[in-house]
Amino acid sequence: MKKIWQLGLTAILAVFLLAACGTATQDKPKVEGTPKSEVVTAEFPLTLTDAVGKEITLETAPATIVSMIPSNTEILFELGLADEVVGVNDYDDYPAEVAEKEKIGGQEFNVEKIVSMNPEIVFAHESGLGKGEAGLQQIRDAGIPVFVVKNAANFEETYTTIETIGQATGKTVEAEKIITDMKAKVEEVLAKTATVENKKTVFVETSPAPDIYTPGKNTFMDQMLEMIGAENIAADKENWFMIAPEEIVNRNPDVIIVLYDYIETAVADVYARPGFDTITAIKEKAVVQVQENITSRTGPRLAEGLEEIAKAIYPEAFGE
């Protein structure tokens, strides 16, 4: 079950990515759901329009918050709102303090529990709308503001998401600091990989045999590989798809990145697959495990995820 949830969440988060941003009305600042580059401010009362076009109005910065997805939670904690967060997703695991928070469920969340917490805002997510819209409406009907955060398709839209959540919570200064630090890290990584002369081909594995899945074109992972000058061998197909082991052998990647960690022998299993001994990545001992969460959660650690991917492919550029 955990494997299915992790794969599904990764695919959803990486494939449907877009972000929200802010505009202002004369009497109440208002944030629309389209990307925007200007620095926003936190002025209350504040009216926000979320990913599904619904408006909420906040008279003051919320003192109690429920976060319904790990990426939202990571943003909120990085903004310094650990005390304000009263409820989190069952799969939240970062930072460590989230273990002390009340759990509200996963994709199938506990509406009654959320309502009983009486939060001043609930941060939902566009990726959970398939099964969760009816439950979100129940929360709204209970008089609790729900803000549905849009998915982010790239780093710029991730910055906008952080900026918007920062505005909604009165933490615009903190949000800008997070964004500035992320941009600096990204520039550092791109500067190092720009000096690499021999560009490599890469296969990214998000689930093991027998059902091996990989990200293709129009995924966040494909974009990250392109940013650092690596070639995704699965870029001839769209989104996440299942690929046969024989096809991986035929495409002969220079590097294989394993993104799942729920199997302790994940890397060893790749090396041991029948027929894989002819692949360059196997012969060169270039099968590397990278933590999935920092590459799939569109939040403050995403720049760190880009760096880890770059190190896995071009360790020489980082002195490793």
The pLDDT > 70 percentage for the chain reads: 87
Does the pLDDT value for residue 3 go beyond 50? Answer: no
Q: How far apart, in whole angstroms, are the C-alpha atoms of residue 209 and residue 11? A: 17
Give the angle 218-224-230 at the CA atoms, nearest 5°. 100
Predicted confidence at residue 19, as pLDDT, reads 34
Predicted confidence at residue 43, as pLDDT, reads 85
Average pLDDT over residues 176-191: 98
Confidence of residue 107 (pLDDT cuts 50, 70, 90): confident
Predicted confidence at residue 131, as pLDDT, reads 78
Average pLDDT over residues 288-314: 97
Q: How far apart, in whole angstroms, are the C-alpha atoms of residue 88 and residue 28? A: 29
Confidence of residue 23 (pLDDT cuts 50, 70, 90): very low
Does the pLDDT value for residue 26 go beyond 90? Answer: no
Predicted confidence at residue 320, as pLDDT, reads 81
Does the pLDDT value for residue 128 go beyond 90? Answer: no
Confidence of residue 12 (pLDDT cuts 50, 70, 90): very low
User: How much is the mean pLDDT over the chain?
Assistant: 89
Confidence of residue 38 (pLDDT cuts 50, 70, 90): low
Does the pLDDT value for residue 306 go beyond 90? Answer: yes
Confidence of residue 39 (pLDDT cuts 50, 70, 90): low
CA 223 to chain centroid: 13
**Is the separation of the CB atoms in 17 and 153 below 8 Å?**
yes
Please, is 224 exposed, middle or buried when counting C-beta atoms within 10 Å of its C-beta (0-12, 13-18, 19+)? Answer: buried
Confidence of residue 35 (pLDDT cuts 50, 70, 90): very low
**Is the separation of the CB atoms in 98 and 77 below 8 Å?**
yes
Average pLDDT over residues 243-267: 97
Q: Which of 37, 24, 97 is nearest to 67 (CA)?
A: 97
Predicted confidence at residue 11, as pLDDT, reads 39
The pLDDT > 90 percentage for the chain reads: 81
- pTM equals 0.85
Predicted confidence at residue 89, as pLDDT, reads 96
